[in-house]
Structure formats: structure tokens, C-alpha cells
């Protein structure tokens, strides 16, 4: 019975692509393409909804004016 449950869970995992990494990336800039640099030299990124941001030293997204990004226009 335990083997059957494990096989069912494994099959479900394969069908739902559970081995795929989550959408939350831990790398700086969330994997988005480089969109230039901001005034003080921080690398800019374009977010999934079109926002332009850089990663602060504390690891937070700091949004800037959209016109600062040079990609995804």
C-alpha cells in the first residue's frame, strides 16, 4: 500500500512538473535581463509587470522610474 501511494505521488509530481524550480529566484535581479545601470551604478532589471528596479544592499527591490530601464521598451 505504501509503495502504491509513493508511486501515485511520484506520478502526480511528474505530471505537474514539481521538479521545476519555483518562480521565486534567489539570484539578484530575479533572473531578468540587465536593463542598464542606475545613477549610482546599480544594475537595473525589468520586472514581470514592467517595473524597473535594482536590488538594494539589503536584498530588496528598489523601484525607479520606468524610463531608466533600457530594455523591454
Structural domain containing residue 65: 21-73
Q: Where are the alpha helices (DSSP H) in the chain?
A: 2-15
Phi, psi of 19 (to 5 degrees): -80, -15
Grid coordinates belonging to 35: 536593463
Q: Report yes or no on 35 lying in a domain.
A: yes
Q: Report yes or no on 14 lying in a domain.
A: no
- Domain tally, the chain: 1
Q: Are the C-beta atoms of 42 and 54 separated by less than 8 Å?
A: yes
Q: Report yes or no on 5 lying in a domain.
A: no
Q: Report yes or no on 72 lying in a domain.
A: yes
Q: Report yes or no on 13 lying in a domain.
A: no
Q: Report yes or no on 54 lying in a domain.
A: yes
pLDDT per residue as tens, the chain (73 positions): 888 777 777 766 666 665 444 333 333 444 557 899 998 899 999 988 889 999 999 999 999 999 889 886 5
Amino acid at each position: 500500500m505504501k509503495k502504491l501511494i509513493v508511486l501515485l505521488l511520484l506520478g502526480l509530481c511528474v505530471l505537474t512538473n514539481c521538479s521545476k524550480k519555483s518562480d521565486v529566484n534567489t539570484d539578484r535581479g530575479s533572473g531578468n535581463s540587465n536593463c542598464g545601470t542606475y545613477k549610482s551604478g546599480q544594475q537595473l532589471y525589468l520586472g514581470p509587470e514592467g517595473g524597473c528596479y535594482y536590488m538594494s544592499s539589503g536584498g530588496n527591490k528598489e523601484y525607479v522610474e520606468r524610463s531608466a530601464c533600457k530594455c523591454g521598451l
